[in-house]
C-alpha cells in the first residue's frame, strides 16, 4: 500500500490521490467516501479486511478534499441557499464526481469495478451505476439514500453537530471532529476516540479546506431525487444501513433498496453514521459475497 496520484483524470482532467490494497489481479473494489472525509475515512484495517477476502481495494480522495484537486477559484458555495432551492453556487455535480471516479479507473487500467459508496459516496456510486453502467460490476450503497428529501432525513442532534462554527486551527479541528463523531457515530458500539483523533489530525495535515467541503455539500444537494432512475438498474446491488443512523435515517437505505430491482437490504442494530470496528468483518463479508456473485455471472472479458 503506497499513496499515489493520478493526473489528468476524467473529463475535468483533475488530480486524484489514491491507494491500492491487495493483489492487483483480484477483482477491483472502488471505495467512494462521503462529504468532508478524505480516503482516510476508509480505515486501513477495513481495507485490509476486504483485501484479505480476495479483492483489490482502491480508496481515493474525492475532488475538493485531501490531496486531490481543489477548486479555490470556483464560486463561493452557499449551502443555505442551496437548501432553499437556489443552486446557482454549485461548482460541479455528483455526475462530475462520478466521472472523476470512472476516470480514476481509466488511469489505473481497470475496466470495471465493484463500487462501494458511503453517505454522499453512496449517491456518487449510484450515479456511476446509472451513468456509466458498463464500468460498475456491482453496487454497494452504504448509509446513503436516493436523494428523495422525504427519506433519510437527519435527526435534529445531527444537524446541531454539523451547525457548529467552522474550526481552523489544528487542535480545534480535531476536537470538533471528536464531538461530531460522538453524535453521528454508532451508539451500540464502543467509541474509538483515539482512532477518530488520529484520523482527524492526519486529515488536517494532508489538507484542510472548509470551502471545498461546502462545495461538495452543494453538489450533493443539487443532485436531486434518483428514485425513478434507480428503478432502471440491473447491476447486482447491496444496501447496508445502520438502524440508529442519526445523519441519514434508515428510511433512506430502505428506499434505495426498494427502488433498485433485486437489491439486498441489510441493517445493523446499534450502527450509526460510521463504520464500527466490530462490524468490519461482517460488512467486508457482505461486500465480497456480492463481488463473488457478480463475478460469477459477469461476461467473459
- Closest by CA position to 272, among listed 119, 46, 61: 119
What is the 8-class DSSP label of residue 298?
Answer: S
* CB proximity list for 209: less than 8 A, separation 6 or greater: 64, 65, 70, 72
Neighbours of 11 (CB within 10 A): 11
Neighbours of 106 (CB within 10 A): 15
Known catalytic membership, residue 119 = yes
The one catalytic residue among 69, 70, 273, 274: 273
The one catalytic residue among 119, 144, 186, 251: 119
Q: How far apart are CA 284 and CA 279, in angstroms?
A: 8
The one catalytic residue among 61, 96, 245, 274: 245
- Closest by CA position to 226, among listed 142, 103, 91, 131: 131
Pairing of strands 113-118, 237-242: unpaired
Beta strands, E only, 25-83: 28-32, 56-60
At 71, list the grid cell: 477548486
At 48, list the grid cell: 485490509
CA separation, residue 47 to residues 2, 135, 168, 189 (Å) = 13, 21, 30, 20
* CB proximity list for 79: less than 8 A, separation 6 or greater: 214, 217, 218, 221
Known catalytic membership, residue 245 = yes
Give the residues across from 140 on adjacent strands. 116, 238
Rg of the chain over Cα atoms, rounded to whole angstroms, equals: 18
- Would you please indicate which residues are annotated as catalytic (active-site) residues? 119, 245, 273
Amino acid at each position: 500500500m503506497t499513496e499515489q496520484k493520478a493526473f489528468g483524470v476524467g473529463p475535468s482532467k483533475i488530480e486524484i490521490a489514491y491507494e491500492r490494497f491487495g493483489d492487483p489481479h483480484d477483482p477491483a473494489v472502488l471505495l467512494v467516501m462521503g462529504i468532508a472525509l478524505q480516503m482516510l475515512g476508509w480505515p486501513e484495517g477495513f481495507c485490509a479486511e476486504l483485501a484479505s477476502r480476495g479483492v483489490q481495494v482502491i480508496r481515493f480522495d474525492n475532488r475538493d478534499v485531501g490531496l486531490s484537486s481543489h477548486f479555490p477559484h470556483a464560486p463561493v458555495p452557499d449551502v443555505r441557499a442551496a437548501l432553499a432551492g437556489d443552486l446557482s453556487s454549485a461548482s460541479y455535480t455528483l455526475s462530475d464526481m462520478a466521472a472523476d471516479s470512472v476516470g480514476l479507473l481509466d488511469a489505473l487500467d481497470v475496466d470495471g469495478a465493484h463500487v462501494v459508496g458511503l453517505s454522499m459516496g453512496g449517491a456518487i456510486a449510484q450515479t456511476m451505476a446509472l451513468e456509466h453502467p458498463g464500468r460498475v460490476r456491482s453496487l454497494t450503497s452504504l448509509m446513503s439514500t436516493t436523494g428523495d428529501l422525504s427519506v433519510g432525513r437527519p435527526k435534529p442532534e445531527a444537524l446541531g453537530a454539523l451547525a457548529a462554527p467552522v474550526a481552523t486551527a489544528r487542535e480545534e479541528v480535531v476536537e470538533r471532529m471528536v464531538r461530531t463523531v460522538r453524535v453521528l457515530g454508532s451508539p451500540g458500539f464502543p467509541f474509538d476516540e483515539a482512532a477518530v483523533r488520529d484520523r482527524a489530525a492526519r486529515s488536517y495535515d494532508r489538507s484542510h479546506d472548509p470551502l471545498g467541503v461546502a462545495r461538495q455539500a452543494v453538489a450533493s444537494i443539487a443532485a436531486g431525487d434518483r428514485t425513478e432512475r434507480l428503478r432502471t438498474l440491473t447491476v447486482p446491488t447491496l444496501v447496508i444501513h445502520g438502524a440508529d443512523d442519526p445523519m441519514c435515517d434508515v428510511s433512506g437505505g430502505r428506499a434505495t433498496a426498494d427502488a433498485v430491482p433485486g437489491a439486498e437490504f441489510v441493517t445493523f442494530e446499534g450502527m450509526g453514521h460510521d463504520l464500527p470496528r466490530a462490524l468490519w468483518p461482517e460488512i467486508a463479508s457482505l461486500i465480497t459475497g456480492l463481488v463473488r456473485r457478480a463475478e460469477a455471472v459477469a461476461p467473459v472479458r
